[in-house]
Each structure stands twice: as C-alpha cells, then as structure tokens.
Amino acid sequence: MERLQRFGVSIEKTLLESFDGFILAHGFHNRSEAIRDLIREKLSKEKGFKSGQTMGTVTTIYNHHSRGLSERLTALQHDYQKLVLFTSHVHITHEYCMEVIVVRGEEKTLRELSARIGGQRGVLMALPSFFSIALQDA
C-alpha cells in the first residue's frame, strides 16, 4: 500500500454538511475514505473513456410492478450481453427489487448501458460503479 499524504481542504459549511450527509448515506467510515473514493471515480471517468477494459457493477432499484419493465431490463442486458458477466436479484419489498449487474468492457459502453437502464420508467436508481484498472485477459 502506498504511503498516505495529508492535505487540507477549505469548504463552505453548507457544502460540508451535505458532504457529511453523503458520507453517512453511502456508508463511508470517514471523510478521507469518501474523498479518496470520489477522486478515484472522477479519475476513472476521465481516464476510462480512453482506456481498454473496465470492471464494475450497475446497481439498480426498481418497481417490478411497472408494466413491462422486467422484460425491458432483461432485453437491455441481452443487448449488452458481451458486457454482462452475471446478475444478482434481491426482493426488497413486495414492490421493489434490487439487481446488481456485474459488467466488464469499455467504460463508455458500460456507462451507456447504465444510462439506458436508469432511463426506464419504474427504475428508481441505476448506480454505476466502475474501476478502470489494468485488467489482463485470463
């Protein structure tokens, strides 16, 4: 593990309060962990569109009672089948489900898939989490 470096950040009180709420909502243990994650995500986006392979997940929360939604989500996964490694489906309540889709491919295309999923009527959230790292084909 690399040696950690400390630095200071000046931030407006209201923005810091919002950030602290974000930290709690997303389960980070402290501000440093959250800042590191956000920096990695931003750098990944900047670099990811230019890099080759990226891995990650698209976590989706949706109302499975929305007419035709399950079929549309399945069709999207079939449209991008070369990227989808596997999915895990969880029933949250009688109405809502969570699906975690593990994906691998070029980040631009993975983000396109995530945006298409998130744009479906009945989808409450489609949260992508990608990591552009030097992945070697097995």
Q: Give the tens place of pLDDT for each residue, 83-99.
A: 999 999 999 999 999 99
pLDDT in tens, 38-86: 887 777 666 655 556 789 999 999 999 999 999 999 999 999 999 999 9
CA distance 32 to 23: 10
Residue 38: C-alpha distances to residues 45, 89, 95, 116 (Å): 11, 27, 32, 23
Burial class (CB in 10 A: 0-12, 13-18, 19+), 113: buried
What does the pLDDT read at residue 52?
66
pTM for this predicted structure: 0.63
Distance CA 83, CA 101 (A): 10
Highest-confidence segment of 9-13, 58-62, 124-128: 58-62
